[in-house]
Chain A
Amino acid sequence: MQPMIIILKDGTDSAQGKSQVLSNISACQAVAEAIRTTLGPRGMDKLIVDNRGKATISNDGATILKLLEVIHPAARTLVDIAKSQDAEVGDGTTSVVLLTGELLKNARTFIEDGMHPTIIIRAIRKATALAIKKIKEIAVNVKADDAKEHRALLEKCAQTTLSSKLIARQREFFSKMVVDAVLMLDELLPLNMIGIKKVTGGSLEESRIVAGVAFKKTFSYAGFEMQQKKLLKPKIALLNIELELKAERDNAEIRLDNVTEYQKIVDAEWSILYSKLDKLHKAGVKVVLSKLPIGDVATQYFADRDMFCAGRVQEDDLRRTQKACGGAIITTVENLEDQSQQVLGTCEVFEEMQIGSERYNLFSGCPKAKTATMILRGGAEQFIDEVERSLHDAIMIVRRAVKNDSIVAGGGAIEMALSRTLRDYSRTVPGKEQLIIAAYAKSFEIIPRQLCENAGFDATNILNKLRQKHTENNIWFGGDILHEDVSDNLVAAVWEPAVVKINAITAASEAACLILSVDETIKVPKSSAEPSNAAKAMNMD
């Protein structure tokens, strides 16, 4: 008898062949299934509770997939493309997953029929290239010269994104806000310069945007209430220094052999603190913000001199204040007076304000206002969280649209146009690829189909109407959710930046190809599971 040769570690799970591809496809479809109802203006939300009992209510594909904790290796690919879509363009995360799922579903029959995956992959690549070319060809360029028109474009893109979110009813209001915020930024449009602060209570319409910085009142010591709460044109010092009476060095020990020395040491400590405070005061600083704590002595010192201070300010808030008001974050107060021009910031008005039950520090009228803060209001915490996610999507879309002003019509219109183009093209291809490109064309129809299904319409009926319209070269016809009909979505101002679609199609095709090209999965078992669990338990203790 021949001896058995063990190549893989005992317990390794390996699956291969055609059936493996098929099973991977089923897994991906199951994931796509989980989020399909979130698509479109009539899409629903998911409530997911994690193991720690934290609940999230969301409509954002990437957020949901992240929270689902997918462990199937092939299905994880879908989570990854949703994440990359989120990082790259911010919106369209649900559509990219749906599209991949549908592509795989249509490829399945060919695999079952014994077609080689590489042929399918080649055809998909070809079709993708064609689709992208088509998008670039038909995308409408909106003239960006006119500031007003440019703004209208941005607002419409933001509105399209927001229409599927919880705040769909208030989308006009929020799209204005988002566009305002993005336009305030500098060339690079850094995302972290838009601060979003959440205050529960109040209605959505009470949300506001501050051209400048706002942050929550920090922890304060006695004496804080006596400080000035409104200052005009103050000089602002941003510090990274602790203004507290404390041991200068932690491990130092002073040895005294004489009582008279005692008082000197005490005085020395006080004078260290006081000289810092004096320098700030002399430089004409009116508002002192510090990343590190500001102690009670300092608070009272400032209160005495009509200055305002806030310690333990969050780092990103401090940084945004610096961006808005100019100046620099100072690590020493030496020579402050001489350099006050360079290192101190300023703004028109500084004010402490009550918003809901919280108090906020507001800096407005900043000279270098390349930053904006949105203060969101709303009923419940989870509500505001979801609003924040929605606005994030809208901000990302607007940022994209600012740089790239070519747009396509949403609501399934662009997908139908692509579907038609590819179908027409497939007829001209001899060989197996014809079938696959036709299937690819069909896959695009999932977007309008799902939109209709979520709205409770007869999807087949609407799709037939759409196909008919598109054959007549009405390329911008898409579903009209409000009237259960089809309409020209370019006229109806359902707009999306073309780059979002291009990215979605590329990502979806790549993911589909990746999954199709895998024919074997080798899963190495966890190295002797029992002791590792025990080790974990020990670590936990």
Chain B
Amino acid sequence: MPSVGTLAFDEFGRPVIILKGQDSKKRLFGIEAHKSHILAGKAVADTLKTSLGPRGMDKCMVSPDGDITITNDGATILSMMHVENEIGKLLVQLSKSQDDEIGDGTTGVVVLAGALLEHAEALLDKGIHPIRIADGYELAAKIALEHLDKIAEAYPLDLAKLDPLVNTAMTTLGSKIVNRCQRQMAEIAVNAIMNVADMERRDVNFELIKVQGKVGGRLEDTLLVKGVVVDKTFSHPQMPKEVRNAKIAILTCPFEPPKPKTKHKLDITNVEDYKKLREYEKEKFTEMIKSIKDSGANLVICQWGFDDEANHLLLSHDLPAVRWVGGPEIELIAIATGGRIVPRFQELTAEKLGHAGHIRELDFGTTSDHMLCIEECKKSNTCTIFVRGGNKMVVEEAKRALHDALCVVRNLVRDNRIVYGGGASEISCAIEVAKEANKIATIEQYAIRAFADALESVPLALAENSGYSPIKTVSDIKAQQIGQNNPRLGIDCLNKGTCDMKEQSVIETLIGKRQQISLATQLVRMILKIDDIRLPGESEE
């Protein structure tokens, strides 16, 4: 029931208008507002529920322009859904911030927040003050986080032995479309990260990893190039397709006679002058070529274009060249090859050249597409993951999946503690939280217990998506966890015959899990704290 906005009457009983556009504004107040928020939150969470886990399904979204996206990445789905509702938008932001910070677990965090809201509804019906519910949730979240720290295991991070890392990446990729070649993708992700990781600072610079996709081939053809892949070809068809021991001049100035930036006009009054101009231009070209040759470069990469005349000159001087290379790519090439970006020809010297062992053009099937691949670079800590796939949707989804996997590996590099996936850590936390709940003397006890129930929503959804009877499976595992005091037991989604997630190597990062719980709790607090919602009516325009 939408109640009318603030009303007051004057001495004749006429309503006084206090707020602008008062009649058209909508207002929800008190318990009505809470109910409507919870409903909205639940609706968003329900959409994502079926995407959870290795047996989760994908969503197909069609944008207003008719572009199709198929994905099961929570953050992507939500951002493409164009949620209108204000509370819905908060959930979208929630998954986005999980994506920004951790990169993985974007579905889980929304499902958890949805479950927390759902349980809050029951508590509200009992008459518990919404803030006390929120307080209880925060207490519970604290208990859960402490418990997570306790059950977390430090993970051997050994550069020589990458298997454990690969396993973690595989857990993430398990729920994605690429799980056909899960192992290969996981290895690619791990290798890429290891290539750029700064083990001293325990940091990974993502800008050094580029993920590029090209439709065609199979997913299995996806490869990791330790170097840079540029979607460009040599400027002249007769230039060699392969250069070894390349010395690269990286230019950000065009191959043409330099022009002043100030507006200028050259008055040519006679033929002599015209010829001189011609001479001048030609001279400039040769001068440029000469300065490149003098520096010892045998390959030119240019941010700008050059006309056919310059192109021909380059060819005749045996200088293979690439033109119109974008700014970020220029930068990547410069970092990879240890070269310097040169803004004008006069400054070109031998020290400023970049070095690469092997540069070649990649062909793709029967298409005329080519790409330039710069490998064996001098400072080869940039790398490019080159994704292939049958159609655009698959390539895009594979890119997203790889991004998630990269994030997970990066998080392990930053903090090598892990917890077990498959709902194992959630169940373990739920047990702990429920146990602690009984020790709380105040009303918050109810909220804490509700939090424990909400934590189980993740394993429940996993079991449901895997086709088990959810309640039975989860209660089974819960009993086993308590019986064996083993926090590693989770849902056996893939029917491998064991519930011990350590044996299945289903691993998630501790920071990811912690983030999920604390973000979801924060957001639920925010939603529960709102008791009054005012919406503008139909705009007058």
Contact = CB atoms under 8 A, between A and B. Distances in A.
Interface of A: 15, 19-20, 22-23, 26-27, 29-31, 33-34, 37, 41-42, 44-51, 53, 55, 57, 59, 68-72, 75, 166, 169, 200-204, 221-226, 245-249, 252-260, 262-263, 265-266, 268-270, 296-297, 300-301, 303-304, 354, 356-357, 378-383, 386, 455-456
Contacts of A304: 340
A4 B330 CA distance: 84
Contact of B89 (A55, A303, A455): A55
Contacts of B342: 300
B532 A71 contact: no
B130 interface: yes
A256 B265 contact: yes
A380 B90 contact: yes
A33 B262 CA distance: 64
B529 A166 contact: yes
A256 B341 contact: no
Contact of A222 (B96, B260, B331, B518): B331
B93 A72 contact: no
A259 B276 contact: yes
Contact of B6 (A31, A44, A255): A31
Contacts of A68: 19, 534
A297 B532 contact: no
A169 B526 CA distance: 12
Interface string B472-495: 000000000000000000000000
B262 A269 contact: yes
Given A55-B86, A382-B93, A257 B269 contact: yes
Contacts of A50: 536
A100 B141 CA distance: 40
B17 interface: yes
Contact of B260 (A72, A75, A265, A381): A265
B522 A203 contact: yes
A379 B16 contact: no
B264 A357 contact: no
A301 B340 CA distance: 10
A304 B98 CA distance: 37
26 contacts: A22-B11, A23-B10, A23-B16, A26-B10, A31-B6, A44-B131, A46-B532, A47-B33, A48-B534, A49-B534, A75-B18, A169-B138, A201-B97, A202-B97, A221-B327, A222-B331, A248-B262, A259-B279, A296-B343, A354-B203, A379-B94, A379-B523, A379-B526, A380-B93, A381-B93, A382-B526
Contacts of B294: none
A380 B96 CA distance: 8
Residue of B7, B342, B343, B515 with most chain A CB atoms under a 10 A cut-off: B343
Contacts of A301: 343
A250 to B, nearest CB: 9
Contact of B331 (A169, A201, A226, A259): A226
A6 B303 CA distance: 77
Nearest to B103: A357
Given A69-B21, A455-B129, A47 B101 contact: no
B334 interface: yes
Nearest to B517: A203
B19 A269 contact: no
Contacts of A15: 10
B86 A47 contact: yes
B8 A44 contact: no
Contacts of B267: 255-257
B525 interface: yes
A222 B327 contact: yes
Nearest to A301: B343
A45 B262 CA distance: 57
B261 A246 contact: yes
* The 7 nearest A-B residue pairs measured at CB: A19-B11, A201-B101, A44-B531, A357-B100, A380-B93, A23-B10, A201-B97
A222 B328 contact: yes
Nearest to B531: A44
B280 A259 contact: yes
Given A45-B529, A259-B276, A379 B19 contact: no
Nearest to B9: A26
A257 B268 CA distance: 7
Given A49-B534, A49-B536, A259-B266, 11 more contacts: A49-B535, A69-B20, A71-B18, A202-B515, A226-B334, A246-B261, A248-B262, A259-B276, A262-B257, A270-B344, A379-B522
B496 interface: no
B281 to A, nearest CB: 9
A303 B347 CA distance: 14
Nearest to B523: A379
B439 interface: no
B150 interface: no
Contacts, number: 236
Contacts of B101: 201-202, 356-357
A201 B407 CA distance: 14
A536 to B, nearest CB: 10
A387 to B, nearest CB: 10
Nearest to A455: B129
Give the interface size bracket for B toward A. 35 or more
B366 interface: no
B530 interface: yes
A270 B519 CA distance: 52
Given A30-B6, A30-B8, A383-B523, A47 B533 contact: yes
Contacts of B126: none
Contact of B18 (A30, A247, A258): A30
Nearest to A353: B203
A379 B97 contact: yes
Contacts of A59: 529
A69 B5 CA distance: 13
Contacts of A252: 262-263
Interface in B394-425: none
Contacts of A225: 207, 331-332, 334-335
A248 B263 CA distance: 10
Nearest to B101: A201
B310 to A, nearest CB: 17
B259 interface: yes
Contacts of B16: 23, 26-27, 72
Contacts of A356: 97, 100-101
Contacts of B279: 259
B436 interface: no
Contacts of A22: 10-11
Interface string B139-179: 00000000000000000000000000000000000000000
Contacts of B340: 226, 300, 303-304
A223 to B, nearest CB: 5
A294 to B, nearest CB: 13
A462 to B, nearest CB: 15
A253 B94 contact: no
Nearest to B267: A257
A47 B280 CA distance: 69
A380 B203 CA distance: 25
A200 B97 contact: yes
Interface in B4-36: 6-11, 16-21, 33
A45 B6 contact: no
A37 B532 contact: yes
Nearest to A252: B262
A304 B7 CA distance: 69
A169 B20 CA distance: 36
B64 interface: no
B263 A269 contact: no
A41 B529 CA distance: 11
A53 B269 CA distance: 63
Contacts of B265: 253-256
Nearest to A37: B531
| Most A C-beta atoms less than 10 A away, residue of B18, B252, B259, B267 | B18
Contacts of A255: 264-265, 267
A297 B90 contact: no
B328 A70 contact: no
B135 interface: yes
